[in-house]
Amino acid sequence: MSGPATVRAARLADAPEIARVHVETWRAAYPGIVPEDYLVSLTEPRQTALWEASIRGTRGADTVLVAESAEGAGIVGFGNCGRARHGGAMGEVFTLYVAGDWQGRGIGRSLLGRLFHTLHGHDLNEATIWVLSANPARFFYEAMGGKRLAERREPFSGMLLDETAYGWSDLGGWLAARSDDGRGQ
């Protein structure tokens, strides 16, 4: 891909950089949405260990992807997906984050396209993503063609947080349409 970043499968050695982007994006995106003491308590070493476990657990549709800067800035985005935690033959994108300075340059779209490609390659033609309802980044998923499917209230670090599910019912069609305009992956 020619662009600001290349999307590829994560390697174990990427975990510290994924953790850096994870902590940075959470602290930038979630003040006033997620409890502040949770954001303060996030640490890169702990997130590194969690991402190492996810990368080690990669199999089948369970995948961790990174976007690596083409300008030598290392990992600038990441996402992971797998079979949906709550149901059937559906895929789920569990996380998708792009570092602040790199947002708005098509990297989120590229990561989402590759995550959908992975799910579709494992016979999952439908996908869902749960997003905190108060997060304006959820409109990104509407821009990506997701349809609002459901809402729920989930306990998180001593609070109840409202979440919205977005859904895609035909990943094959979505991928074909995006490859036609060259923006899918």
User: Rule CB under 6 A: is residue 96 a binding residue for ligand COA?
Assistant: yes
Q: Supply angle C-alpha 169, 173, 177, rounded to 5.
A: 130
Torsional sign, CA 57, 140, 164, 179: negative
Taking CB under 6 A as the criterion, the residue among 19, 81, 127, 131 binding ligand COA is: 131
Among 48, 55, 61, 109, binds ligand COA (CB under 6 A): 109
Contact indicator for 43, 26 with CB cutoff of 8 Å: no
Q: Is 155 in the site for ligand COA (CB under 6 A)?
A: no
Specify the residue, 35 or 106, whose C-beta has the smaller distance to ligand COA.
106
CA-based nearest residue to 185, from 117, 110, 116, 80:
110
Asked if 19 touches ligand COA (CB under 6 A), the answer is: no
Count of residues interacting with ligand COA (CB under 6 A): 19
Q: Name which position in 10, 19, 22, 25 contacts ligand COA (CB under 6 A).
A: 25
Q: Cβ-closest residue to ligand COA?
A: 108
Tokens of 50: 């969690």
Interface with ligand COA, residue 81, by CB under 6 A: no
Spatial contact of 130 and 95, defined as CB atoms under 8 Å apart: no
Q: Dihedral angle at the C-alpha atoms of 95, 170, 164, 35, nearest 10 degrees?
A: 0
Collapse the DSSP code of 9 into the 3-class scheme (helix H, G, I; strand E, B; otherwise coil) and give the result: strand
Out of 20, 27, 83, 105, name the contact with ligand COA by CB under 6 A. Answer: 105
The answer to the question of residue 185 lying near ligand COA (CB under 6 A) is no
Binding region for ligand COA (CB under 6 A): 25, 29, 96-98, 103-109, 131, 135-137, 139-140, 143
